[in-house]
Amino acid sequence: MKVLITGGAGFLGQRLARELLARGSLKDAQGMPQALTQLVLLDVVEAHDFGDSRVRTEVGDIAERSVLERVIDSDTAAIFHLAAIVSGQAEADFDLGMRINLDASRLLLDVCRHRGHRPRVVFTSSVAVYGGNLPEVVQNDTALNPQSSYGAQKAIAELLLNDYSRRGFVDGRVLRLPTISVRPGRPNAAASSFASGIIREPLNGEEAVCPVDGATRLWLLSPRQAIECLIAGLELDAAALGNQRVLNLPGISVSVDEMVAALREVAGDEVAKRIVWQPDERVTKIVGSWPGRWDTSRAEQLGLRGDRNFADVIRGYIADEGIQTP
């Protein structure tokens, strides 16, 4: 089976690639395991190829049709579309966000449509599609009301994927991801960057700025479970999804204060004290518009699983990254 990951050099893309290579197979549309024969990693920079002969890296601009035509052919059975401009950057550079989050997503669907073989396509979406006056627990039938350009672009991509699926051009699935924490590496331009930074930097012996109030409630998913859900989402039986291809993935609802308490529990008070509280109105406004919890019953009925609690998420991060704690 030939698989494509867009954003294949990114953190989630690389982690997903590593997991797919380790598993060595994926279920096909009939639920039968098929050996992974080629894994194409497309990104604007060269992706790590894991020294694995099944990996083919491609560098290119995903908003160019010729690039997508190079990486999607009629043998491409599964596509994980992870390439995106993050929330803070899409708010700062409107045209760039529209180009990558909307135009490239549509182009990808359209190239699949013209190939004519109805590949399975997983899009990732976000808490940012919600906003405004939200119920305490967002339901599957709660209206989208994005309060950021990133959220609007993701909501549009959802509608496109649903319609392309309904028409039989692709067999699509949208997984709405909670905020991913803890991400390794450096801070990025996502408004939610701090949700990893306030754990990661203190564990590295560095100070981290928290731009929101401690009472702010976040809806989180670990990278480990995100990867599990991406693969399970691709393997879901299309018949079980019907005409509603969007799934709210399971998360855990924690306040920033509870995140800090979990860090203290796992790594001690010295580490937790490295957080500097410095409110930022722009970040507070964007993050504050997101839901702190949503109903996950549909995803759970379909077998998708989140994390147990945030202390375990931190422990998983420490184990995965080989971090020494005091």
Binding site for its own copies (CB under 8 A): 94, 131-133, 140-147, 149, 152, 155-156, 159-160, 162-163, 166-167, 243-244
DSSP string, 214-242: TT-EEEEE-HHHHHHHHHHHHHS-HHHHT
**Which residue, 136 or 141, is less far from its own copies as judged by CB?**
141
Minimum distance, C-beta of residue 149 to its own copies, in the bound complex (Å): 6
First to last CA, the chain: 45
Structure tokens at 105: 């997503």
Helix (H, G, I), strand (E, B) or coil at 256: helix
CB-CB contact of 309 with 263 (8 Å): no
Residues pairing with 209 in the sheet: 276
**Which residue, 6 or 162, is less far from its own copies as judged by CB?**
162
d(CA 182, CA 1): 31
Minimum distance, C-beta of residue 163 to its own copies, in the bound complex (Å): 4
d(CA 186, CA 201): 9
150 is catalytic: yes
Write the CA distances from 61 to 4, 104, 210, integer angstroms.
15, 9, 33
Minimum distance, C-beta of residue 320 to its own copies, in the bound complex (Å): 35
User: Which listed residue (130, 150, 164, 317) is catalytic?
Assistant: 150
Q: How many CB atoms lie within 10 A of CB 132?
A: 10
Minimum distance, C-beta of residue 219 to its own copies, in the bound complex (Å): 18
**Which residue, 141 or 269, is less far from its own copies as judged by CB?**
141
Minimum distance, C-beta of residue 293 to its own copies, in the bound complex (Å): 16
Residue 245: CA count within 13 A, CB half-sphere: 26
d(CA 286, CA 37): 42
d(CA 126, CA 169): 23
Minimum distance, C-beta of residue 155 to its own copies, in the bound complex (Å): 5
**Which residue, 152 or 221, is less far from its own copies as judged by CB?**
152
Bridge-based pairing state of the strands 33-35 and 25-27: antiparallel
Rg of the chain taking only CA atoms, in angstroms: 19
Residue in 291, 101, 319, 83 with CA at minimum distance from that of residue 179: 291
Residue with tokens 């996502």: 190
Residue in 316, 318, 159, 136 with CA at minimum distance from that of residue 219: 136
**Which residue, 204 or 284, is less far from its own copies as judged by CB?**
284
**Which residue, 72 or 161, is less far from its own copies as judged by CB?**
161
**Which residue, 94 or 277, is less far from its own copies as judged by CB?**
94
Go through the chain and tell me how many residues it has. 326
Minimum distance, C-beta of residue 230 to its own copies, in the bound complex (Å): 23
User: Residues with catalytic annotation?
Assistant: 150
